[in-house]
Each structure stands twice: as C-alpha cells, then as structure tokens.
Amino acid sequence: MITVIAGGIADLSGLLTVCTSLVPLLKRTKEAHTQQVGQQESATHPIKLTIEIDGKLQVIEASDLTQADAALKLALKYRALYPATATQVSPNSTIKVQGQMPARKRRRRR
C-alpha cells in the first residue's frame, strides 16, 4: 500500500511541477480578463483557458484557479484525462496556454 502511494506521488511530481509554474500565468490572464471586461461580466462569462502539455489538451475555466490548491487540482484533472502520459510529464515538456478575450469596447467619438 505504501509503495502504491509513493509511486503515485512520484508519477505526479513532474506534472505538479509543471502545473505549479502555470498557475501564476493563468491567474494573471484571469486578472487581465476581469480588468478588460469588468467584474460583473467576468463573473457571468468566465474566460476559458486551454492548456496543452505534450500535445494533450485540457480546458479549464478561470474559476478553477481561485483555490490555494489550484496546481494540485490541475495536475489531478490532467492525470484523470490522460493517465498514460501524466507519468511522462517533466519540466522539459512542451507546454502551450491559450485564452481568448473579447476585444476592447471602442469609445464613440463625439
């Protein structure tokens, strides 16, 4: 039983390292979205972010990043989606993050 837990932790260590480094970037993207569209609009229509790790996509909403354990939740969600590749993720893995924000509203000239 202990070896199974230790093996699970070792499998997640690379993935957790990657997710921990992603969380500040994702939180800053969420803050920029809130600043651009406003607090109320951001709450009703949260930004969706796409994370690609070694060619495997994972879509998350910005509301998933509010808790302190956001990196662990990202790692566990990725492992649930892609159990075979989750053990192979390392800090050298190819990572892409994408998010779409609406264009800024233009002010009307008088």
Domain boundaries of the chain, sorted by first residue: 2-99
Sheet holding 95-99, edge to edge: 56-61, 48-53, 95-99
Residue 82 has what pLDDT? 86
- Look up residue 76 and give its two tokens: 């566990």
Per residue in 17-66, pLDDT tens? 887 888 888 888 888 888 888 888 877 877 888 888 888 888 887 776 76
HEC assignment per residue over the chain: CHHHHHHHHHHHHHHHHHHHHHHHHHHHHHHHHHHHHCHHHHHHCCCEEEEEECCEEEEEEHHHHCCCCHHHHHHHHHHHHCHHHHCCCCCCCCEEEEECCCCCCCCCCC
Q: Where is pLDDT greater, at 101 or 60?
A: 60
- Predicted TM-score (pTM) of the model is 0.63
